[in-house]
Amino acid sequence: MTVVVLGLVSSLLYGVSDFFGAVGSRTRSATEVAFGALVVSGVTVLPAFAIVESRWSWSAVVFGALAGAAAGVGVLLLYAALAVGPVGFVSPVVALMSAVLPALWAFSTGEGTSPPAIAALAAIVVGGVLIGAEPDAGLRPRPRTVVLTLVTGVVYAAYFVFMDATPEDSGAVPMLSDSVAAVVAVGVLLLVSRRRGGAAAPPTRREVAVIVAAGLTQGVATVLLVTALHLPGLAIVSALSALYPATTVGLAVVVLHERLRARHAIGLLVAVAGVAGLALARG
């Protein structure tokens, strides 16, 4: 039950973070927004050392750094894809890939689960995709958006696999290693873009607030996610990640006035049924 709750709350918070990232990337470059959000996220995870018992090891640092590099590149690609939209295409496709690919990896490496749990996982993934399915039929993704979305899905899947490989007793160590690597990876890209395009104008207060909000929610979500990944159940956590479009698209409907369709309500019901079934299957 614990891994279900942690994975669920983490997923919904990532959805909030992605929404703020998408909003910020509409007035600033995706690289700037991603870098700022990752810095704030890194600071947010530091208090975890005072809460969670942590043990340093090479595997915790290295796999955490690999996950962080994937996360940094993934956030940058995701913000770039969300900025050109539509949100309702990008979110469900990334959610589907980042849920299914790690689950397939987990099953291929011997992680077992019961048939009811597998059915619940499938319902969660299907529900997440329906929730995020194109809110506005008039918005069609461009080829660039499709490519960015597919690459983002693969990169995010790699994040789950790398972070799951960190030792169970490493606590907050991979979170810190993750954050540092992500900031460095995106920071290098930001420096390169600044040299090519010149210095950008300072962000407005609103833009700073949006970036900070994206980073705070991402940081808290990361702490919950890593805690969940240190428990048995990579397939479960990755499947629950498919629910993040519920908050991303929900906020897009309320704030950006993207249209909501019946399929979203159906997706929500399917996803809720899946989460409930998973909780029962896990006891």
Q: What is the DSSP letter of 172?
A: T
Mean pLDDT of the chain: 82
- The lowest-confidence range among 59-73, 95-109, 181-195 is 95-109
Measured between alpha carbons, how far is 63 from 70 in angstroms, rounded to an integer?
Answer: 11
Q: What is the pLDDT of residues 128-175, one digit of tens each?
A: 777 666 555 445 678 888 889 889 999 988 998 998 899 988 989 999
Q: Band of the pLDDT at 276, cuts 50, 70, 90?
A: low
Across residues 102-123, what is the average pLDDT? 76
Residue with tokens 């973070």: 17
Q: In the structure, what pLDDT confidence band is assigned to residue 180 with cuts at 50, 70 and 90?
A: very high
DSSP state of 204: P
**pLDDT, mean of residues 208-232:** 91
Q: What's the pLDDT at 220?
A: 94
Q: Which of 130-144, 218-232, 243-257, 258-272 has the highest mean pLDDT?
A: 218-232
Give the pLDDT of residue 116: 75
Cβ atoms within 10 A of the Cβ of 204, count? 11
What single letter denotes the amino acid at residue 281? A
Residue 279: band (very low, low, confident or very high) from pLDDT cuts 50, 70, 90: low
Residue entry with tokens 């995010």: 156
d(CA 107, CA 200) in angstroms, rounded, equals 46
pLDDT the model gives residue 67 = 93
Residue 137, helix vs strand vs coil: coil
Q: Is the pLDDT of residue 281 over 70?
A: no
Over 80: is that where the pLDDT of 207 sits?
Answer: yes
Closest Cα to residue 149, out of 91, 66, 100, 103?
91
pTM of the model: 0.78
Tokens 């399917």, located at residue: 270
pLDDT in tens, 17-39: 988 988 898 888 888 998 999 99
Q: What is the pLDDT of residue 63?
A: 95
**pLDDT beyond 70 at 198:** no
Higher-confidence position of 89 and 214: 214
